[in-house]
Amino acid sequence: MGQRLSGGRSCLDVPGRLLPQPPPSPPPVRRKLALLFAMLCIWLYMFLYSCAGSCAAAPGLLLLGSGSRAAHAPPALAPGPDGTAPKLPFQAVPATPPVAGKEPAEGAGSQEEQSPETPDSPSSISSFFSGSGSKQLPQAIIIGVKKGGTRALLEFLRVHPDVRAVGAEPHFFDRSYDKGLAWYRDLMPRTLEGQITMEKTPSYFVTREAPARISAMSKDTKLIVVVRDPVTRAISDYTQTLSKRPDIPTFESLTFKNRTTGLIDTSWSAIQIGIYAKHLEHWLRHFPIGQMLFVSGERLISDPAGELGRVQDFLGLKRIITDKHFYFNKTKGFPCLKKAEGSSKPHCLGKTKGRTHPEIDREVVRRLREFYRPFNLKFYQMTGQDFGWD
């Protein structure tokens, strides 16, 4: 009944047999999502691994590349015959009992106050990769001076992604030398290649044994000394002691052996630490002057970015810390960080910093300036820097 189509087909066959077939179904959506998730995980892992230990210290958007300086590896320590960790020769620092309100002039006993808000606690990224990197002996040490601004300098430096520093003062080269380099190294934070390990202990500068001991660890160690007007530094030192021991004698009575004759008591540590030229002579027997950087404590307050620029150059680091990292806190009277290491919040040093100094007799201050003047001039000549204290 119906007409035949070519090929012998009936037109009745067309509906159901000649309609176009649907295209093959695409791969399941879940497979695509799984592949995308796997690629994202791989990318995230590589990103975090590359940033571990460096991005953790970068404030805000400081996700910049590492500096050009590679941290040198410390000499290997050969185990002793009994398999124990080796120890360097040790000569104990003689302990001098304190005299009525006075601290020992050299070595132990002049530890700077620890800032409770600045422990060596890694950020979340560093903690995630706590096993990455390795512990190295420090390639740079802030060796002094007490009440000069060493804590501020260390906290500012820790903003740099290529600087890793232990928070507490180790006091290895003045108090714990008998524990050995292996013990000292274990105190240090882990670092990646290209990062610098640092520590700061201000009493090293006035410890006679410290220069030889640091040189025995590594002759290439870079040394940083933060110095401050010795008269102001002495008053600040006394203020710190007074906050702990309100019953100590007055600054004026401790300054002189005999106030009538005007003879200054150089055995008092607050006075003795400020004779910078005398202490520097010991260091120059073991280290060239070019291996030491002298940072102005005054300029660290008035121009922190400028002084940090000098420090970064000295350490062979890219100049990442700039004036954009600081703001001036009028209440405390010194600069603070807009963002501290591993934090997105502003950070100032604790209440133990920036104490109000007691009123000191002007005549006593004048005599102290006269006492320090020749030592200051010699220090300017030795360092090639005029710090403007006179």
Which residues belong to the active site?
Answer: 147
> Is 262 one of the annotated binding-site residues?
no
**Interior CA angle at 56 toward 50 and 57, to 5°?**
120
> Is 80 one of the annotated binding-site residues?
no
Q: What is the DSSP code string of 53-89?
A: TTGGG--TT------SPPPPPPPPPPPPTTSPPP---
> Is 383 one of the annotated binding-site residues?
no
Q: What is the DSSP code string of 214-283?
A: HHHH-TT-EEEEEE--HHHHHHHHHHHHHHH-TTSPPHHHHHEEETTTTEE-TTSHHHHTT-HHHHHHHH
> Is 228 one of the annotated binding-site residues?
yes
Q: SS3 of 328, please?
A: strand
The enclosing H or E element of 165 equals strand 163-165
- Per the listing, tokens 């307050």 go with 301
> Is 356 one of the annotated binding-site residues?
yes
CB-CB neighbours of 7 under 10 Å: 6
- Closest by alpha carbon to 337, among 297, 304, 302, 298? 304
> Is 355 one of the annotated binding-site residues?
yes
State whether the Cα torsion 289-105-299-163 is positive or negative: positive
> Is 151 one of the annotated binding-site residues?
yes
> Is 148 one of the annotated binding-site residues?
yes
196 forms bridges with which residues in the sheet?
Answer: 163
Q: What is the DSSP code string of 268-308?
A: SHHHHTT-HHHHHHHHHTTS-GGGEEEEEHHHHHH-HHHHH
User: Tokens for 356?
Assistant: 């109000």
Residue 374 CA to its chain's centroid (Å): 32
> Is 167 one of the annotated binding-site residues?
no
Q: CB-side exposure of 52: number of CA atoms within 13 Å? A: 20
Query: Left, alpha or beta for 101 (phi > 0: left; psi -120 to 50: alpha)?
Result: left
Q: Quote the crossing angle between the two packed helices 362-383 and 230-244, to the nearest 10°.
A: 120
**Residue 144 backbone dihedrals phi, psi, to 5 degrees:** 175, 180
> Is 135 one of the annotated binding-site residues?
no
Annotated binding-site positions for 3'-phosphoadenylyl sulfate: 147-151, 228, 236, 353-357
Q: Which residues are annotated as a binding site?
A: 147-151, 228, 236, 353-357
